[in-house]
Structure 1
Amino acid sequence: MTEPTSVASAEAPAPTSPLLETRALTRHFKVGAGFSRRTLHAVDDVDLVINPREIVALVGESGSGKSTVARLLARVYKPTSGEIRYQGRSLGAVRGRRAQLAYRGDVPMVFQDPFSSLNPAYHVAHGILRGLRLHRPELNRAQRHAEAERVVEAVGLVPAAEILGRYPYELSGGQRQRIGFAQALAYRPKLILADEPVSMLDISIRIGLLNVMARLRETEGVSFLYITHDIASARYVSDRLLVMYGGHVVESGPTEAVLARPKHPYTELLLSAVPDPRAPLAVDAQAARSEPPAVIDPAPGCRFRARCPLAIDVCHSVTPRLRELGPAHTAACHVATADAPLAQSPAIPV
């Protein structure tokens, strides 16, 4: 399928203080019981920066740790170690119900399943108005209803009054997901955590939702962390790209730079999985090496080494760290160099 032109900002955002950043963010889970109790390393040492009015895509296959990062930022999970800083302040210092409620209003989450995030027993208006009462208590009844109509129109659903009077089952999947964005937008957020928001929708509907994200960034000044396994949609909407594998960020940088000159073999693998209608039908040998990463009590070394065609001895004993290989472009790979991409990857069709 031919990909549409990107809606990401043509110009890089001006340098500014980060809206949200993480430092060595780590989350481990205990699995098993008794003598078989082990540790699952869901997220390890993730450094992430999101600036105002920026869309950052966090890309990786299932089990890479993307959704765990989102839940850490939403404060659903507490970090095992590391730090999250929001507007320059550590979230460890954010205590008390009122302060935590204010943060959740500033950084709401849009979930993957647009139906399960809405209460089927109530009209669509119920969830938006309830959120407004909780996060914006200064509004009176008339103002809440006016704001509910405003945010529904902002996500492209009209007439707003009619939409608000419907039940969730009366809406399509794309309309329900737009309501999810409207609920988040009603809080006047600074950053929306969008966890696979288009993965359950038909391809023909996905572009409309991605355009909603881009439009809200421009009109409402909202930043997004867009979590996805679809590198093509990440290219379409994001300013910067972070690639995760086995709980680690293995590559990051401006989206076009990462996709034009990938430095990590895993990014190459993701690119090779993007369908190209011009290519003959064949099974890619590298893509067929689908051994999952070892994230339960992992040994030192690169977690991608079992699938990597370029692995060398040091990959089996030393965990690579992110290092700069281009302007704002980093990769965690012992083999990658700044001079050239690892291999000639098929470009995403345009």
Structure 2
Amino acid sequence: MTEPQPQPGPKPLIETVGLCRHFKVGAGFSRRNLHAVDDVDLVINPREIVALVGESGSGKSTIARLLARVYRPTSGEIRYQGKSLATARGRKAQLAYRSDAPMVFQDPFSSLNPAYRVSHGILRGLKLHRPELNHAQRIEEAQRVVEAVGLVPAAEILNRYPYELSGGQRQRIGFAQALAYKPKLILADEPVSMLDISIRIGLLNVMAKLRETEGVSFLYITHDIASARYVSDRLLVMYGGHVVESGPTEAVLADPKHPYTSLLLSAVPDPRAPLGVDAEAAKSEPPAVIDPKPGCRFRARCPLAIDECASVTPRLRELGPAHQAACHVATADAPTIKPPAAVG
């Protein structure tokens, strides 16, 4: 009897292979380079919310801009629906991709033109990215996407100026503008960080709702690990331009394998979170990302560092079901990395 063949998983919507982005530092003939993103492999599947978390300067926003084609990779490849974006040339191909993968920015006010009514940006985007729609259809679609992000009555909202809206309403308009293009992926770069805590949950619920009703995937970039836990399916933790841990969100946060993930968790007032690394680690120096030498970039802050950490760059390796970590001391059978308690 023939054994049943395993069913293939979903084809990635977008993936990166060995993605790197380096920026020149200094003027003239300087050869120094800042390694903002180094050797990142990332996968986002259809109808999936992937959170990218880490401190400021870890490379999160650089990845978003690489995926949005604002930056070109120094090396590596970005594949969208199985095809390399390097082959997507010409204005038509670029417009088509940017319709499929728009960005929602951190500052909701700066992404809206204060001289025009809210309807201006949405209708202009529809005219550019969906030219098949006539004027009446564009107005109808503008009202639909505004209602989809929870703003009613839509006609009244569209007739307002940005200054007449609250911060939360303006950010919802940012999501509506992206949704108007009929995207497959929305790149959300710190979309709730400038909002009051009391209204952040509403925006996270909008993301979850759009994933269900519109079939949109999200790359959710944040430094707030609690909000990532609330809304994401999978979690990628970045430090110094590297992905240091990845896996299903609950699995990573319930059983972190990398000391940096434990450090992030130690800052979250969550009684379910496991014990993290010594708080003294947070006071150490930032990672060296200008012409970095081989080795773990977290070693200067890590209380568990060993000699190998100073000379060998750790690679992501499987430590559990779909759970990976780039750490020399992490082991699959260790339930949680728990360094020695602080003295004094």
The equivalent of 2:237 in structure 1 is 243
The equivalent position to 1:294 in structure 2, one of 285, 288, 291, is: 288
The equivalent position to 2:219 in structure 1, one of 225, 239, 253, is: 225
Contact 1:273/1:287, CA 8 A, preserved across alignment: no
The equivalent of 2:262 in structure 1 is 268
CA distance in 2, matches of 1:50, 1:278: 27
Contact 2:54/2:222, CA 8 A, preserved across alignment: yes
The equivalent of 2:74 in structure 1 is 80
The equivalent of 1:66 in structure 2 is 60
TM-score, L = length of structure 2: 0.93
Helix, strand or coil: the match of 2:301?
Answer: coil
1:309 aligns to 2:315 (yes or no): no
CA distance in 2, matches of 1:41, 1:218: 36
Unaligned runs of 5+ in 2: 1-7, 340-344
Contact 1:265/1:342, CA 8 A, preserved across alignment: no
The equivalent of 1:119 in structure 2 is 113
Residue 82 of structure 1: how far off its partner (Å) = 0.2
Unaligned runs of 5+ in 1: 1-13, 346-350
1:323 aligns to 2:317 (yes or no): yes
CA distance in 1, matches of 2:302, 2:19: 25
The equivalent of 1:3 in structure 2 is none
User: How many corresponding residue pairs?
Assistant: 329
The equivalent position to 1:185 in structure 2, one of 179, 182, 185, is: 179
CA distance in 2, matches of 1:25, 1:305: 23
Residue 287 of structure 1: how far off its partner (Å) = 4.4
The equivalent position to 2:99 in structure 1, one of 98, 101, 105, is: 105
Helix, strand or coil: the match of 2:300?
Answer: coil
Contact 2:186/2:218, CA 8 A, preserved across alignment: yes
What does residue range 278-289 of structure 1 map to in structure 2 within 5 Å?
285-289=279-283
Residue 34 of structure 1: how far off its partner (Å) = 3.6
Structure 1 residues 29 and 291, CA, compared in 2 at 3 Å: closer, same or farther? same
CA distance in 2, matches of 1:304, 1:311: 9
The equivalent of 2:5 in structure 1 is none
Counterpart AA for 1:160: A
Counterpart AA for 1:173: G
The equivalent position to 2:151 in structure 1, one of 157, 162, 166, is: 157
Residue 258 of structure 1: how far off its partner (Å) = 0.2
Residue 277 of structure 1: how far off its partner (Å) = 7.9
CA distance in 2, matches of 1:136, 1:271: 43
Contact 1:286/1:309, CA 8 A, preserved across alignment: no
Helix, strand or coil: the match of 2:292?
Answer: coil
Contact 1:120/1:169, CA 8 A, preserved across alignment: yes
CA distance in 2, matches of 1:165, 1:87: 37
The equivalent of 2:163 in structure 1 is 169
CA distance in 2, matches of 1:165, 1:185: 19
Residue 33 of structure 1: how far off its partner (Å) = 1.9
Structure 1 residues 117 and 342, CA, compared in 2 at 3 Å: closer, same or farther? same
1:28 aligns to 2:22 (yes or no): yes
Cα RMSD (Å): 1.7
TM-score, L = length of structure 1: 0.91
Helix, strand or coil: the match of 1:61?
Answer: coil
Counterpart AA for 2:19: L
- After superposition, the C-alpha distances for 1:59-109 in whole angstroms (9 at most, x for unaligned) are 000000000000000000000000000000000110110011000000000
